[in-house]
Structure 1
Amino acid sequence: MNLLTSWLFDPTNWSGTGGIPQRLVEHLWYTALALAIAIVIGFPLGALVGHTKRGGFVLVGAANVLRALPTVGVLTLVVLLAGIGLVPPIAALTLLAIPPIMAGAYAGIQAVEPVVVDAARGVGMTEREVLFQVEIPNAMPLIFGGVRSAALQVVATATIAAYVGLGGLGRYVFDGLALHDYPQMAGGAILVAVLAVLVELVLTGVQRLVVSPGLRPVRTSGGTQR
């Protein structure tokens, strides 16, 4: 434990191009890029299928297939096809993030009360207006839940970028393993875990700002949610 704390609090590990702040920025960059691509791909697919109620079986099957793909295996395959660089880890992380985002959008829109949707159509709203002004706002808790789940998975798995020679906090894990520097390896793992907790807290705060109070779970006197 003393060796671990000495590594974490060593000033030399908090400065320079290989310092913790620099590695943290790299890790967040990989995470944000993969999440952005996954949202652009997964959210429209989930929302469209949830709105039209067509192709749900195909979407769920595709999400399960993507979940079953081994991230390191995908990384290795893309390296063989595209070579070393940013593309392989981002592709692997994007495939990891798409299923929860897609499932969250699909489940959220499917869960909107049919009477609300029928009322929106009854007042003359177009299908586009129903989707963007009624279904998506009402589905925000589940949509955001999917994004949070994807973010946590990507943050924890973005260490694979170091596997192909890139940066991020995974650099400490892989370098520590190669050099038998176990304090460095354990320190890298702790930093990833702490970052995941911080990301969860930040996204929870953002969700409270974005989601209407009327759509948040209500706690009963027994401590359960409804």
Structure 2
Amino acid sequence: MDISAFLASNWHRILDLTLGHIELSLYAVGISLAIGLPLGVLCYCVRWIGAVVLNLVSVIYTVPTLALFGLMIPLLGIGILPAIVAVVLYSLLPVVQGTYTGLTAVAPEIRESATGIGMSYVARLWRVELPLALPVVFAGLRVAVVNAVGMMTLASLIGAGGLGDMVFRGISTVSWALVLAGSIPVLLLAIIADLGLRTLERRFAARQA
């Protein structure tokens, strides 16, 4: 079947899978942010903890994606939960590293000025250092979001659903229309997410210039 004809006759199915894919990716990124941002701040505040945490998330990030999904099966079974957990684990490094790097990159004289006007350590961290670190934090978030969109495609292999269902069904039936109908939305989602977050990153950087 011609790809344009297939898209026209199955747009509702593609839309449903796309919305499900977005939902799964947002859940994973949201959880990774909720865990990764405080961890990044903790790594900055307590350096020995930082060495342990950063090494740990780096090791997780080196695990091949399919192997990580495979490890989730005996622990959590198949379905949405193991897929989200795997993507969260994989997304921690860019979030934690981005937060930590952004905070450590704040100029020492800025910290000294904040302390000099009477700010406490917590107030300086919250009102001065974190806002200045936002461009680097957004850079890490951008990597995490793009990773999540791509990994959720593979998560279909463990029953999570999403656009990967269409991609792998197309591969198994040698249907290029199915493969493209699943792959093109994934590609567009990754590009849109990257461009959107890159724009926010530049705006935060411009405000601080």
- Write out per-residue CA displacement over residues 46-105 of structure 1, whole angstroms, 9 at most, x where no aligned residue: 122224444443233123202112222222222222222211100111111110000000
Amino acid at match of 2:2: L
Q: Does the CA contact (< 8 Å) of 2:98 and 2:140 recur in 1?
A: yes
Unaligned residue ranges in structure 1 (runs of 5+): 217-226
Partner of 2:11: 14
Q: CA offset at residue 189 of structure 1?
A: 1.5
More helix by share: 2
2:206 partner amino acid: P
Q: SS at the partner of 1:171? A: helix
2:44 to 41, 50, 53: 50
- CA shift, 1:142, in A, is 0.3
Report how many residues are paired: 209
Question: What residue is the counterpart of 2:206 in the other structure?
Answer: 213
Alpha-carbon distance between aligned partners in 2 of 1:28 and 1:204, rounded to the nearest angstrom: 18
- Matched-pair contact (CA < 8 Å) for 2:166–2:181: yes
**What is the aligned partner in structure 1 of residue 167 from structure 2?**
173
Alpha carbons 1:141, 1:215 under 8 Å: kept: no
Q: What is the distance in 1 between the residues matched to 2:162 and 2:99? A: 29
Larger RCO: Structure 1 or Structure 2 (Cα < 8 Å, ≥ 6 residues apart)? 2
Q: How does 1:126-165 map to 2 (within 5 A)?
A: 126-165=120-159
TM norm structure 2:
0.91
1:39 aligns to what? 33
Partner of 1:71: 65
Query: Which residue of structure 2 lines up, in the alignment, with residue 111 of structure 1?
Result: 105
Q: Which moved more, 1:200-209 or 1:43-52?
A: 200-209
Structure 1 residues 156 and 93, CA gap change in structure 2 (3 angstroms): same
Q: Percent identity?
A: 32
Can you give the 5+ residue segments of structure 2 that lack an aligned partner in the other structure?
none
Match of 2:196 in 1: 202
Aligned position for 1:124: 118
* Residue type of the alignment partner of 2:4: T
SS in 2 for 1:101: helix
Q: Distance in 1 between matches of 2:57 and 2:173?
A: 38
Alignment check: 8 A CA contact 2:83 2:160 kept: no
State the distance in 2 between where 1:119 and 1:50 align: 19
